[in-house]
Chain A
Amino acid sequence: MPAIEVNNTSRTYGKVQALNSISLSVEYGELFGLIGPDGAGKSTLFRILTTLLLADTGTASVAGHDVVQSYRQIRKEVGYMPGRFSLYQDLTVEENLRFFATIFNTTIEENYNLIKDIYEQIEPFKKRPAGKLSGGMKQKLALSCALIHKPKVLFLDEPTTGVDAVSRQEFWDMLKNLKEKGIAILVSTPYMDEASLCDRIALIQSGKILQTDTPEEIVKSYPSPLYAIRSNNNYELLKVLRDKNYTKSALPFGEYLHLATHTSMGVDEIISTLNTGNYPDLEIKPIKPDIEDLFLELSREV
C-alpha cells in the first residue's frame, strides 16, 4: 500500500475550483515534489491530506488510513509543516520541541536520533524564542517539531519559501537523509530548480495535475527543439521572434530568451532570418530544456 494515495479528489471554495480531480500516489521512502505556482492548489491538497479540510469528491488515504474515516489515526502518524510558520513564537526553541513531543505522547529523547542532524544546528539557540530566529533556523525548528513523533509520512508545504539559498540547499540535503529512513515525503515548492532534487514530481496548475513523472522523464517529454538566445536588445528581439512562422514559443528566461521551434533548425538558419545589424552581440545556442520550460509549455497548452 502506498504511503499516500489520492483518487479523483476535487475541492471548490465557493466558485473557485481549487482542486480538479487530482490523483497521485507516493511510496514510502520517496521524495515527491508538488511543483506549481502560487494558487495552483498545492496547499489545499496538503490540507485535505492532513485532515484539516474535507474534499468535495474523491477518496484519499495516508499511511493506509482513509482521510475521512480514520483521520484520528492519520494525525498520529504524519508530520506536517504548514506553509506559514506555525510554531509558538513566544516559546523558546526547546519549549516548542518539548511541547510538540508532549502532545504526541513522546519525549525529545525517545526520537532524538531522527532529528539529531537538524536539531544540532539550532541547539545553540535553544533558549531563544522561536519568533526571534532567522528564516532558515525557523524552518529547521519546524521540521524538528514535525519529526519529533517519528511520523511515517511527512508533509512539507513550501518549506523553502523565504529561505536563503544556502539554507535551502541544506534543507534539501536533510530531506534526502529522511527519505532514506523510509519516510514518505510530500513537498511542495514554487521553485522549479528544486524539482530536480525530488524522486518524482507532479506539475500542478489551476487545480489540475499536468504531468507526473521523474524529473528526468518530465524533461525528456519536452516536445520541441529549444534554443537560448541573448542579445543587447532582448525585448525587441522577443517581439521579432514571436512573429516568425517557425516559432512555437519565445519566452524570456533571465538574461536569455528561450525559443522553441516547430522543427529542428541550425543556429545559422535562425541567424539568417534575423536582421543581425540590430543585434551586435547576438548569441544563439541549442539547449536542453529544464523543468521550467516544460512547465511553461504545459501551462501554455492548458
Chain B
Amino acid sequence: MMTILPIFQLIVLSNAATNEVKEVKIILLDHDLSEISRNLTRKITASDHFKLTGSLFSKKQALEKMQANEADIILEIPNRFEKEFIRGEKPAIQMLVNAINGQQATVGSGYLRNIISTYSQDILSEVHWVPQSNHSSISISTRYWYNPLLKYTDFMVPGILAELTALLTIVLTAMNVVREREIGTIEQINVTPIKKWQFIMGKLIPFLCVGMFIMTVGLTVGKIIFHIPMAGSLILLFVYAFVNIIAVLGFGLLISNFADTQQQAIFVAFFFILIFILMSGLFTPIESMPTWAQHLTKVNPLAHFIAVSRKVLMKGSGFVDLTSEFAYTLILAIVFNVSAIWSYKKQE
C-alpha cells in the first residue's frame, strides 16, 4: 500500500498535471468570408492547440457559447477586412478571451496572436509585394536548454517524485508517536531507561528506509514510463534525498510530539504539506513569487528537494552547484530533529 499508491499517483499526476494548453476552444465570427479570412481560419485550425467549436455570424450567439463554456476565444473578423487590407488601411480583428481560466486565456491568446502576426507578414509580402528579405529585422531563434523538446513530463516527474516522497514520509511520521500515545504503548516505553534520541531514531530509521525505497521505485518508473533524463549523478541525488528525508521526518515527528490525537496530527500535517507543495516551485516557479515568499521557501525542505532533483536529473548539476540546497537542508534536518528529540517528553 505504502509504495503502490505513491507510484500510482506519480503516473497519474505526471500525465495529468500539465501546464501545456491544448485544445483551446475557438469560435470564429467571420463577417468577411474573403480569401484572406478563410486562409487565416485554415492556419488556426491547422494548429493542434486550437479546436474550432463553431463558425457563427452573430456575436450574441457567440457570447452565449462562451457563457456556456463552449468557447475560450472568440475571433471576430470584420466585414470588408480583405478590402481594407489590400487598400493599405489597417483593418483590425477582435479577439475575445474567456479569462476564467487564466492559463488557458493567456497562453491561448498568445498562440493565436503568434499565428495572426506570422500570417499578416506572409500576406503583406504577397499582397503588397514587399519582399521580406529587404526588411532588415531581428529574427529570434530559441533553443531550450536542459529540456530541448520542452517535454512537460521531464520537468514534472522529478518534481512530483520529490513531492510524493516528502508527503508520504511526513504523514507517516506525524501519525506515529501520537498513535503510540493513543494506544498507550508510550506509557510503557516511557518507564524504561530508553533515551529520547534512541526513541526518535527508532521512529526515524524505518521511515527513512521507506522513503528511500519509494524514491528508488519512483525513479525507475520515471525512467521506464516517462523516459525522464538522468543527466547527473544518481548517487548525488540519493545522498541528497537521504538528508532531505531525515529533515522531513524530523518535521513529522515534531508535529507528532505536539499532537494529542491522530486527527490533530493529520490536520496539522496537511496544513503544512499544502503550504510546502504550493510554495515548492512544483507548479509555479519560486522566482515569480513575492520576495518574502521566496525567503520562506528556504525553510521549505520540499522546495530544495524539487530543485535538486530537477537540477541533477535534467541539468546534470554536480555537488558544487547544489551546495546551498545541501546546506539549507542539512540545517533544517538538524533543527527539526533536535527539536523533535527535545520536545518529546517522557514526563508530564
Picked from B184, B188, B191, the residue with its CB within 8 Å of the CB of A51 is B191
Give A54 to B189 CA distance when docked, in angstroms: 17
Tell me if A32 is interfacial: C-beta within 8 Å of chain B: no
Give A265 to B193 CA distance when docked, in angstroms: 60
Tier of interface size on chain B: 10 to 19
Which residues does chain A contribute within 8 Å of B347, judged by CB atoms?
51-54, 71
Q: C-beta contact mask, B250-262 vs A, less than 8 Å → 1, else 0?
A: 0000000000000
Closest to A72 in B: B193
**CB proximity to A under 8 Å, residues B177-232:** 183-194
Give the tally of cross-chain contacts (CB within 8 A).
50
Tell me if A191 is interfacial: C-beta within 8 Å of chain B: no
Give A105 to B192 CA distance when docked, in angstroms: 10
Tell me if B128 is interfacial: C-beta within 8 Å of chain A: no
Tell me if B346 is interfacial: C-beta within 8 Å of chain A: yes
Of A75-83, A163-171, A208-216, the segment with at least 4 beta carbons within 8 Å of chain B is A75-83
Contact check, B185 vs A103: say whether CB atoms are below 8 A apart. Answer: no
Give A104 to B193 CA distance when docked, in angstroms: 7
Give A103 to B188 CA distance when docked, in angstroms: 11
Tell me if A186 is interfacial: C-beta within 8 Å of chain B: no
**CB proximity to B under 8 Å, residues A48-86:** 50-54, 71-72, 75-76, 78, 80, 82, 84-86
Tier of interface size on chain A: 20 to 34
Tell me if B89 is interfacial: C-beta within 8 Å of chain A: no
Tell me if B287 is interfacial: C-beta within 8 Å of chain A: no
Contact check, A80 vs B191: say whether CB atoms are below 8 A apart. Answer: yes
Tell me if A89 is interfacial: C-beta within 8 Å of chain B: yes
Contact check, A85 vs B184: say whether CB atoms are below 8 A apart. Answer: yes
Tell me if B48 is interfacial: C-beta within 8 Å of chain A: no
CB distance from A163 to the nearest CB of B (A): 17
Which residues does chain A contribute within 8 Å of B186, judged by CB atoms?
86
Picked from B183, B184, B191, the residue with its CB within 8 Å of the CB of A50 is B191
Of A47, A52, A54, which is in contact with the most chain B CB atoms at under 10 Å from its CB? Answer: A52
Give A75 to B346 CA distance when docked, in angstroms: 11
Give A190 to B191 CA distance when docked, in angstroms: 23
Which residues does chain A contribute within 8 Å of B189, judged by CB atoms?
103
Contact A75 to B193, CB < 8 A, known contacts A51-B347, A52-B348, A53-B348: yes
Closest to A89 in B: B183
Contact check, A86 vs B187: say whether CB atoms are below 8 A apart. Answer: yes
Give A77 to B184 CA distance when docked, in angstroms: 21
Q: Is the interface of A mostly helix, strand, loop or mixed?
A: loop
Which residues does chain A contribute within 8 Å of B187, judged by CB atoms?
52, 82, 84, 86
Contact check, A52 vs B192: say whether CB atoms are below 8 A apart. Answer: no
Which residues does chain B contribute within 8 Å of A103, judged by CB atoms?
189, 192-194
Which residues does chain B contribute within 8 Å of A72, judged by CB atoms?
193
Give A80 to B191 CA distance when docked, in angstroms: 7
Picked from A52, A86, A104, the residue with its CB within 8 Å of the CB of B346 is A52
Closest to B192 in A: A103
Tell me if A201 is interfacial: C-beta within 8 Å of chain B: no
Closest to B189 in A: A103
Tell me if A100 is interfacial: C-beta within 8 Å of chain B: yes
Interface positions of B (Cβ within 8 A of A): 183-194, 346-348
11 pairs from A and B in contact (CB 8 Å cutoff): A47-B348, A52-B190, A52-B191, A52-B348, A82-B184, A84-B187, A86-B183, A86-B184, A89-B183, A103-B194, A104-B193
**Shortest 7 CB-CB contacts between residues of A and residues of B:** A86-B188, A80-B191, A84-B184, A86-B184, A82-B187, A103-B192, A76-B193
Other CB < 8 Å A-B pairs besides A53-B348, A103-B189, A105-B193, 19 of them? A50-B191, A51-B347, A52-B187, A52-B190, A52-B346, A53-B347, A54-B348, A71-B347, A72-B193, A75-B191, A75-B193, A80-B188, A80-B191, A85-B184, A86-B184, A86-B185, A86-B187, A89-B183, A103-B193
